[in-house]
Chains A and B, each alone.
Chain A
């Protein structure tokens, strides 16, 4: 138990494969896909078209 408590944050993080998987999926989805979709949806129509 004391081993568990002394464990550094880095080891805890790298041992948690499911957390790493979640970060690896969620982060690119937000930064590339979601952000890109928001940009496309909010693009205005060419103003000089009458």
Chain B
């Protein structure tokens, strides 16, 4: 290989100077606060965290937006949010997309635990369900409450949209990757699912523990011969509740600056206490 001529080096240097000048241009986004987007399950928690954080840190702005874990992760990948909240872990494909753009696989921070609850109407006499029955229920193989020990009435299935992390978690961990029954009615948020079940005596839904207002949780039987387990602080903490999961905050890089301050707050004793108040469970 021959060395480059001085003329060509000069051109290359001029080009690099141009690039560096552009790099030195002021950044438009400086001082715009922290934006957080993603899981509808986590909105209720992160909203409270943000409110208390801003009260304790005057001048700090934290914007929280829902849309679903998938939407939040997409926003993290295309750079339109600083933090993504997700009720499921990022998939390998999503991490690779993030790496393609930012040369980083992202940083995952678990901020709370949740017991993914199965809701039924308060008047429903069914108290427990096995994991296998739950799987068959949402695959459409069980269609009447009679098959679960209730009255002979058709079951109405409520679920989440496919951009939801709760949808993906349920599909992966309960349905083992198979598709939901076509008659499962998809609703835009966990609150909507809980609300629908509260109004429908034949309904069943699933979602975060913090949303179980006006409905009753079914006890989950992990395997034949085992006792039913309800999503409580103790069973979620020790992992005996079969649908225990973590709730995450994702950032593109290791958290720094205002983002780090907010995440540190979420992990602090005050932040973890809020987690319990909202209806989720602290990490420890």
Real binding pair: no
Residues of B whose CB lies within 8 Å of any CB of A are none
Residues of A whose CB lies within 8 Å of any CB of B are none
